[in-house]
Amino acid sequence: MNRIVERFARLRQRGEKGLVIYIGAGDPDLEATRRLALALDKAGADVLELGIPFSDPLADGPVNQLAAQRGLESGTTPPKVLETVRAIRRESQVPIVFFVYFNLLHRYGLERFIQEASGAGVDGLLVLDLPPEESGNYAALMKASGLAPIYLLAPTTPEDRVKGIVAQGEGFLYYVSREGVTGMQAKVSGTIGSMTDMIRRHTRLPIAIGFGISNPEQAREVAAHGDAIVVGSAVVNQIATHGRSPDLVDRVSSFVLSLSQAIRPRGGA
């Protein structure tokens, strides 16, 4: 069974909310990415999203754009990220999703990328700028390789289109809780409840809610509406602050642990 599907089934059985954590691959370098992945698994991350650095990350705000720039400067490439996943897999079975722009897949070769990602131990792809309606044979290639295609839904997505998108998704759905690019926010959106209720009318896939969650209090608030929360920029900001510090991994994993503890029942991991 796909690790993402298995993890969400386990969370549902336990009555727990999931924690999806995003970090930029190669920020500050790929050895740090490997060490962070192992530590975040232990700190309570249920799914790890690895952003493959790209020169034009239009869906990202300044924090994640700078992480992508640092990843490129450290020499990170798709083949090197795949090798890092192989290294992570020698010690951890944390579900891994690649957060990636389609240009990189197109340049690499879509079928080859999907096959090699699956072989390395990746569990799903979230291709930010690939609309399902224009994805061609992407879904078939993903299914053949056992990877979960993760799709985005937004507050502006009409209900008719929601129906079509959720029918193609697997693993979980990523609900972008506000308009705009990624980034930390002072408060969460007031429309999360109504939108997640609407999405649930059309799917049984878990709904992970992200974009803007910055602290444990917001994590707890948002988790009440979804099956999982996604935290990216706030974690990446920790990496930017402590990137070359010897206690980088401890600092970041402590922050992620605080998020995990905020959304779990008392005593949960």
Q: Would you say residue 15 lies in a domain? A: yes
Predicted confidence at residue 187, as pLDDT, reads 53
On the question of a cis peptide bond just before residue 216, with omega within 30 degrees of 0, the verdict is: no
- The contacts of residue 69 (CB under 8 Å, 6+ apart) are 53
- pLDDT for residue 189: 57
Q: What is the pLDDT of residues 171-192, one digit of tens each?
A: 999 999 754 445 444 455 568 9
Least Cα distance to 4 among 40, 43, 48, 50 occurs for: 48
Give me the CATH number covering residue 81: 3.20.20.70
Is residue 11 domain-resident? Answer: yes
**Side-by-side strand order, sheet with 96-100:** 148-149, 124-127, 96-100, 47-51, 18-24, 228-231, 207-210, 173-176, 151-153
Is position 91 annotated as part of the catalytic site?
no
Angstrom distances, CA of residue 182 to CA of 145, 156, 230, 234:
29, 16, 11, 10
Whether residue 99 is contained in a domain is answered as yes
In a domain, 268, yes or no: no
Asked if residue 252 lies in contact with residue 32, where contact means CB atoms within 8 angstroms, the answer is no
Average pLDDT over residues 5-19: 97
Q: What is the pLDDT of residues 203-253, one digit of tens each?
A: 999 999 998 899 999 999 999 999 999 999 999 999 999 999 999 999 999
49 carries an active-site annotation:
yes
User: Residue 201: exposed, middle, or buried by beta-carbon count in 10 A (0-12, 13-18, 19+)?
Assistant: exposed
In a domain, 136, yes or no: yes
What pLDDT was estimated at residue 177? 79
Query: Quick check: is 269 in a domain?
Result: no
Residue 65 pLDDT: 94
**Catalytic option among 27, 29, 46, 49:** 49
pLDDT tens digits, one per residue of 134-159 = 998 999 999 999 999 999 999 999 99
Domain that holds residue 153: 3-263
Instruction: Yes or no: say if 54 and 69 are a contact pair by the CB < 8 Å rule.
Output: no
Give me the chain's average pLDDT, please: 93
The mean-pLDDT minimum among 74-83, 110-119, 188-197 falls in 188-197
Spot the catalytic one: 16, 27, 46, 60.
60
pLDDT above 80 (res 268): no
Number of structural domains found in the chain:
1
